[in-house]
Structure 1
Amino acid sequence: MVSTTHRDAGVEGVEGGVGVTALMVAAARAIETYRHDTLVRDIYAEHFVLAAPASAGWPVRLQQVPDRDANPLWGRFARYFGLRTRVLDDFLLRSVHTGNARQVVLLGAGLDSRAFRLDWPSGCVIFEIDREGVLAFKNKVLDGLSATPRAARVPVPVDLRADWVAALADAGFDTAAPSVWLAEGLLFYLPAIAEEFLIDTVDRLSTEGSALAFEVKLDKDLMEYRDSPLYTSTTQQIGIDLLSLFDREPRPDSAGALESKGWATSVHTPFDFTRRHGRGPLPEDNDALAGNRWVFANRP
């Protein structure tokens, strides 16, 4: 467990840059949790938002947003994060309940609370990889709530730009056993070469029966959407300029790379799942979500 005795270790990881986006997603999950037609319940999400100075005053209920669902950030964008959480929850649970994989690796875990929320089968181990400051803040909040994980939870405090493979091995990851991997809201921020390395590494560490889900953006030019309501409202309302955080290099074909290595993949738009669940964002003009894709892969 990461030490949380020093104040900086408890908040610095979520006070700026990419780290603060984890608070934005937590606020979205809190709002989703208390909708009458919720797709996912995360009772821990609001506590992360309320505990961090960076998110002081942010809404954690839709009733706290004056224009409710008409608000591009706390309405449509928040609903997107709720849908994404539900879809990836379903992927993880389906993967561990229908196969032999009992190792789950959350790459860039952020303020995800799946180790505490989901119905894991016996013997599951959840490895949470993220920067030390992020995990320290997360641990501090969860400890304060006396939260109990529903599977063995192993925080792995390491930056994904460092030797996270060695850190994961030291934490007890078994390369000879099937594993389930998740990169949620992560690859947007990585250079193309780092995404290629991550995908190659997951392939190398995964035996038969493993699975992987990740999120990518396929926009040819992100700046085409610089005036999108999602981006402008996020900047104006909470001071997060997502376009300054996203890597703007041309993206690699990670789904194709996995297929060439023998994985079976499927690629979906978020709107596919909006239609499936009857809730979530649908396409609109000048849509910053137009290039988003959710990729699911299995190693037979």
Structure 2
Amino acid sequence: MADTTPQHPDVDGVDGGVGLTALLVAAARAIETHRHDSLAQDTYAEHFVRAAPACADWPVRIEQVPDGDDNPLWGRFARYFGLRTRVLDDFLLRSVDTNARQVVLLGAGLDTRAFRLALPSDCVIFEIDRPGVLAFKQRVLTGLSAAPKVKRVPVPADLRGEWSSALTTLGFDPTAPSVWLAEGLLFYLPGPTESHLIDTVDRLTTAGSALAFEAKMEKDLQAYRDSATYTATREEIGIDLLRLFDNGPRPDSAGDLAAKGWSTSIHTPFDFTRRHGRGPLPEPNDALEGNRWVFAHKPCP
């Protein structure tokens, strides 16, 4: 397939650029949902995929993929997204089992945790993303007559700019514990923007809060350009991830949080593949080799 997809990161919505990757993740969650050994269930995911003309022919079940799990995009890469969803679901549920009742999804995309997770009834989920992405998401959910299980507050904002005032204006309380997820977000942002975002999360959180995010540790992303994952994503659906990722130096956000007093742990996705018995394992020239999942907690005095 020729690469005709709009790649500019400033496209607002899901028709191109980074917004289109939200549909890629939704398709992966749909495939994961229909597996007999599913790690995560998201019955809304395939409806997002079918509602967007850009991905009308994408699969939503592994049986629709001619080479099935041998396909590096819809097999291995999609299974990666399914594993990531499960791991962050578990992190969120553990966090609200303690005392956090505010959830902030940074770059929420087509996340449906407010609709599908068994969260405490007094939880509030704030979903921050660009207006076009949130508008598309709302149209699909309204068409399904979907009702969230907890209070859900969309926050239309660009995370590359000033977004904290929009969050607090809509009811977020910095003095109460909170849990934050940045799922598949930071490597699209310039390094200084990531650092500002992490500093802002620290400023808006109190003791007992938690943060999970995904980072990439490769020294040279372009060294993996011909990996099976990036090649299949370019050729099969026209998304050139390496043109969307920011190729500048990455900050050490986990180290920055530790310096601010947070406790942090860093894991490879493969750690969780082994824990759950499902998901990707390392392979040669692996586009996932540098991916890290970081879990941070702001301790109580």
TM-score band, normalised by shorter chain: over 0.9
* 1:60 counterpart residue number: 60
1:259 is matched by which residue type in structure 2? A
1:45 is matched by which residue type in structure 2? A
Q: TM-score, normalised by structure 1?
A: 0.95
SS state of the match for residue 215, structure 1?
A: strand
Structure 1's unaligned 5+ residue stretches are: 1-10
Matches within 5 A, 1:132-281: 132-281=131-280
SS state of the match for residue 152, structure 2?
A: strand
Conservation of the 8 A alpha-carbon contact between 2:177 and 2:207? yes
**CA distances 1:171-220 after superposition (whole Å, capped 9, x unpaired):** 10001101100000000100000010011110011000000000000000
Aligned partners of 1:41, 1:175: CA distance in 2, in Å? Answer: 31
Aligned partners of 2:168, 2:51: CA distance in 1, in Å? Answer: 32
* 1:31 counterpart residue number: 31
Aligned partners of 1:171, 1:27: CA distance in 2, in Å? Answer: 30
SS state of the match for residue 247, structure 1?
A: coil
Percentage of identical aligned residues? 76
The count of corresponding residues between Structure 1 and Structure 2 is 289
Conservation of the 8 A alpha-carbon contact between 2:105 and 2:126? yes
SS state of the match for residue 13, structure 2?
A: helix
SS state of the match for residue 196, structure 2?
A: helix
Q: TM-score, normalised by structure 2?
A: 0.95
Residue 227 and residue 156 in structure 1: after superposition, are their counterparts in 2 closer, same or farther (change >3 A)?
A: same
Q: CA RMSD in A?
A: 0.9
Matches within 5 A, 1:96-107: 96-97=96-97, 99-107=98-106
Residue 267 and residue 230 in structure 1: after superposition, are their counterparts in 2 closer, same or farther (change >3 A)?
A: same
Aligned partners of 1:43, 1:56: CA distance in 2, in Å? Answer: 17
Conservation of the 8 A alpha-carbon contact between 2:121 and 2:149? no
Q: CA deviation at 1:12?
A: 5.6
Residue 12 and residue 259 in structure 1: after superposition, are their counterparts in 2 closer, same or farther (change >3 A)?
A: closer
Q: CA deviation at 1:285?
A: 0.1
Q: CA deviation at 1:122?
A: 2.2
Aligned partners of 2:260, 2:208: CA distance in 1, in Å? Answer: 14
Aligned partners of 1:91, 1:195: CA distance in 2, in Å? Answer: 21
Structure 2's unaligned 5+ residue stretches are: 1-10
* 2:72 counterpart residue number: 72
**CA distances 1:25-82 after superposition (whole Å, capped 9, x unpaired):** 0000000000010000100000000000111100001010000000000000000000
1:217 is matched by which residue type in structure 2? K
2:166 is matched by which residue type in structure 1? A
Aligned partners of 1:225, 1:12: CA distance in 2, in Å? Answer: 28
Conservation of the 8 A alpha-carbon contact between 2:76 and 2:279? yes
Runs of 4+ that moved beyond 3 A: none
2:55 is matched by which residue type in structure 1? S
Aligned partners of 2:74, 2:91: CA distance in 1, in Å? Answer: 25
* 1:15 counterpart residue number: 15
Conservation of the 8 A alpha-carbon contact between 2:160 and 2:189? no
Aligned partners of 2:145, 2:121: CA distance in 1, in Å? Answer: 21
